[in-house]
Amino acid sequence: MNRSSMPRRARRYRSPGESGPKYAHRGEVKFCGVRTAAFFCTLGALFVLALAAPRPTHSDFEKRDLAEFPAFSWQSLWDGSFFDGVNLWFSDTFPFRDGFVAWNGELKTLYGAGQAQLSGNVEQGDAIPSVPERPPASAPETSAPESAAPESSAPESAVEESAPESSAPESSAPASSVPEPAPEIDVTGEVTQSLGAVLIVGDSAYEYYNFSQEVANNYLAMISRASERLGPDVRLYDMVVPTSMDILLPESFRAGLNTSSQKDAIAYLYGSMPAAVRTVPVYDALKAHADEYVYFRTDHHWTALGAYYAYREYAAQAGFTPLELDAFTVKEFPGFLGAFYSDTGRAPALAQNPDTVFAYVPPGEVSMTFTDRDGAEHDWPLIADVSGWASSSKYNTFIGGDNPYTVVHNAARDDGSCCVVVKESFGNAFVPFLAPHYENVYVIDYRYWNGDLATFVQGAGAKDVLFLNNISATRNASLVSRMQAIVG
């Protein structure tokens, strides 16, 4: 046989540690070289991108400002802290950072992995007593703040630096008297994710609630103490707002979840309060409108429509006639992706159907001033135009967001009527509805305000004081402690 026609034997290679021969064709070796080259080219391209592309300064996903390039000093160079700062800046401000995070979340979803980047896990709630009780009137001792001034010493400003300057919204067509319909919620389908304290069903998320007997009793003691200090001449109201899980998900669906009955918890709280406190029953009112858009899908807050139905219940307790919805001017801000979206690692199920923020501008000449957390005063629209704001910030259309102290003034009234609203963020969507009924509405966010409530109410001459909290606040020990601090 002609030697040249014989098949050539593959060159033999022996790897370290192998006892036998290993054969590899030259084509395979060449392919390995191509893959190696491609890997290092990709690595090099990412390196060039990291150096040349613009770096973000704020993360919408994490809702925080990113690390800044460190200031140079010989001391920081000597002790190495300058290079530590450069490393942190380089990794924290990588170009297209939020996009990579979102892409990672979608990739995990394709592989069936859930995003579990949450603030906490579901806890086992206490049994809710069926019989109300009367806690002692005096709240646990706290160091009462010395100053009753509305300013707060908290360090951050409540107005986003990136927020565009906004003037009062231009008038538009009046709101229809027929409320906007609620999004359809499929509660018969598969629960796609159960992530710590947040449940996602379809394109909507829900917050778990677990009753705490101890914190509930501290809340009751705080309300009793407030009633005692404000005295009989001040009408004290308490509004506990349920969250979407209890209102939108049927009881049969919730039966298999580790979540307490919010209806029973509110019944316990209201039934245990002093007779002088006027409780505002909003649970049944919201439940009656559960087929409407009363809660957001991607955020834990209620919508302005949900707050409107609560306003009607407050009006019944306060003795005035509420305005019909079509008396307000409607503003619409689409593209809202709220706290549930960020807390679940940008769950694709929520991203596919963003919320729309509807806001209702009251009639009349209404102005507003707020004091931020640095103590600076700002004139600001009651309902701001947030069209160009980040998708996570659109709830801040209401009263300028969360600020220590806010004053809403109605120039059409000169009767000296005023109301003090003590609230967390659920109160933001509620306050605009009060503007037509009082000359002044004073809004105190107890999380940031450091005054004494009784002294402030007396100085303002207010006859109505409303505590407005979502039900989760009544089981949060730190929030109840902040309320106790301003009540004294």
Token pair for 295:
């809660």
pLDDT of amino acid 39: 77
The domain boundary residue, chosen from 58, 92, 126: 92
Rounded to the nearest 10°, the torsion over CA 383, 388, 390, 394 is: 20
Q: How many domains does the chain have?
A: 2
Last residue of a domain, one of 92, 124, 140: 92
| Domain end position, chosen among 57, 92, 127 | 92
202 and 337 share a domain?
A: yes
Distance (Å, whole) CA 197 – CA 81: 38
Question: How far is it, in rounded angstroms, from Cα 112 to Cα 147?
Answer: 54
Instruction: Judge if 86 and 227 occupy the same domain.
Output: no
Q: For the packed helices 453-460 and 213-230, what is the interaxial angle rounded to 10 degrees?
A: 40
What is the per-residue pLDDT across 368-399, written as a single tens digit (0 to 9) for each? Answer: 999 999 999 999 999 999 999 999 999 999 99
182 Cβ contact list (under 8 Å, min separation 6): 290, 291, 292, 293, 294
Average pLDDT in the chain: 79
The continuous run of DSSP H or E covering 314 comes out as helix 304-318
Q: Is residue 309 a part of any domain in this protein?
A: yes
Instruction: Give me the mean pLDDT over the 115-133 stretch.
Output: 56
**Domain-located, residue 176:** no
- The verdict on residue 181 lying in a domain is no
Q: Is residue 100 part of a domain?
A: no
CB 82 within 8 A of CB 73: yes
- 61 pLDDT more than 60: no
Structure tokens at 173: 């067509």
Q: Based on the fold, state whether residues 86 and 197 are members of the same structural domain.
A: no
Residue 278 lies in a domain: yes
Percent of the chain with pLDDT over 70: 69
Position 174 in a domain: no
| Sign of the Cα pseudo-torsion (267, 268, 269, 271, in order) | positive
- Of the ranges 114-118, 130-134, 174-178, 215-219, the best mean pLDDT one: 215-219
Helices (H), 22-134: 26-52, 74-79, 81-92, 97-110
Task: Tell which residue, 337, 307, 333, 336, has the closest CA to residue 322.
Answer: 307
What residues does 334 pair with on adjacent strands?
A: 356
Region 89-117 average pLDDT? 51
Domain of 401, in residue numbers: 191-487
Q: Does residue 481 share a domain with residue 373? A: yes
The verdict on 376 and 267 lying in the same domain is yes
- For residue 441, tell me if it sits in a domain: yes
Neighbour count for residue 367 (Cβ, 10 Å): 15
- What is the tens place of the pLDDT at every residue in 270-320? 999 999 999 999 999 999 999 999 999 999 999 999 999 999 999 999 999
Question: Is residue 79 located within the same domain as residue 228?
Answer: no
Residue 43 lies in a domain: yes
Residue that wins the pLDDT comparison between 246 and 5: 246
